[in-house]
Amino acid sequence: MNTVLLQYAVEVEKTGSITQAAGNLYMDQPNLSKAIKTLEESLGAPIFKRTPKGVVPTARGRIFLEYARNVLAQLEEMEALYKPAKAGGVEFALSMPRASYISYAFSLFVKRIDRKEGMNLWLRETNSADTLRDVDRGEYKLGIIRYKPSAEAYYAKQAAECGLKTELLLEYDERLLMSQAHPLALADHIEPGDLLPYIEITHGDGSTSGHREFKAADSPPANRIYIFERGTQMGLLHENSDTYMWVSPMPPPVLRQHGLTERPCADGNHRYRDVLVYRNGYKMGKWERLFLEELEQVKAGLMGKI
């Protein structure tokens, strides 16, 4: 079977569009459609079906594409054996939730890369569904998903259906992140009701934790500021001593850098799991292993908070 046709099919799956895939492959849309049709005829079954939202794999097509991606990955590994090592070969891609302990480990990982080698690093902060899709399509080699323990069965099933392996990274109770000048910063015990006079900062797109998925039309029972990227939260928390935010455990250096503190809260509804996902059979390279080493070191510094 022509491996070029496999590449065409995988690109169509990734984009969900014959037109977009043709553009990415620098070819005409009719020629790509003809190539996909030729491939389907050789298999004796359709790989894709058209929907109002684009093209999606059929049930058989999904299985075929799974094999196609594996074949292409193996070919790439075989070719790499005969290619000389070259500068600029550091490739790393991670899809993850918004979590300062993970991004801090990523920063330490970057420090360990020799600048002379060059690098192409990708770090995407998004929700669990998108992360599963990122890794399933091969766009990211590693992913980290976040969910409550009660959703374990659902996410285990979703990962299995995508052909992904899962490993528990961290299970924890979310903490309250606030300015060192916050009225509750030195409180030994905080109840949910104690938070009512203050302003909660939360991500408006629901990319971190399920209980924070609110829309502008909702009428939440408390004062909230909705943000859509993580950088803003540090400045808001530091400059506004009446704000707080629910977060995963924070590395001490990050707290010191921004003049913040974190406190536990007597609310049993904030238990979460962060889980590593990657394709079944994928052998991690040097850079994935190096990142996970840094992540383990950062986690070790959080153990007293979990």
Q: What is the pLDDT of residue 100?
A: 94
Q: What is the pLDDT of residue 215?
A: 43
Q: CA distances (Å), 297 to each of 61, 102, 103, 135, 195, in order?
A: 42, 11, 13, 24, 33
Residue that wins the pLDDT comparison between 282 and 88: 282
Q: What is the pLDDT of residue 206?
A: 64
Q: How many residues does the chain have?
A: 306
Q: CA distances (Å), 185 to each of 99, 101, 236, 266, in order?
A: 21, 21, 16, 15
pTM of the full structure: 0.69
Q: What is the pLDDT of residue 3?
A: 86
Confidence of residue 266 (pLDDT cuts 50, 70, 90): confident
Q: What is the pLDDT of residue 80?
A: 63
Q: pLDDT by residue (tens digit) across 29-73?
A: 888 999 999 999 999 999 999 888 889 999 999 999 999 988 888
Q: What is the pLDDT of residue 207?
A: 56
Q: pLDDT by residue (tens digit) across 192-208?
A: 899 999 999 998 876 55
Q: pLDDT by residue (tens digit) across 75-84?
A: 877 776 655 4
Residue 165 has pLDDT above 90, yes or no: yes
Q: Measured between alpha carbons, how far is 95 from 124 in angstroms, rounded to an integer?
A: 5
> How confident is the model over 151-169, as a mean pLDDT?
94
Residue 97 has pLDDT above 90, yes or no: yes
Residue 85 has pLDDT above 50, yes or no: no
> How confident is the model over 89-94, as a mean pLDDT?
88
Q: What is the pLDDT of residue 83?
A: 56
Q: What is the pLDDT of residue 209?
A: 43
Sheet holding 142-147, edge to edge: 119-125, 90-96, 142-147, 271-279, 164-173
Q: Measured between alpha carbons, how far is 88 from 115 in angstroms, rounded to an integer?
A: 9
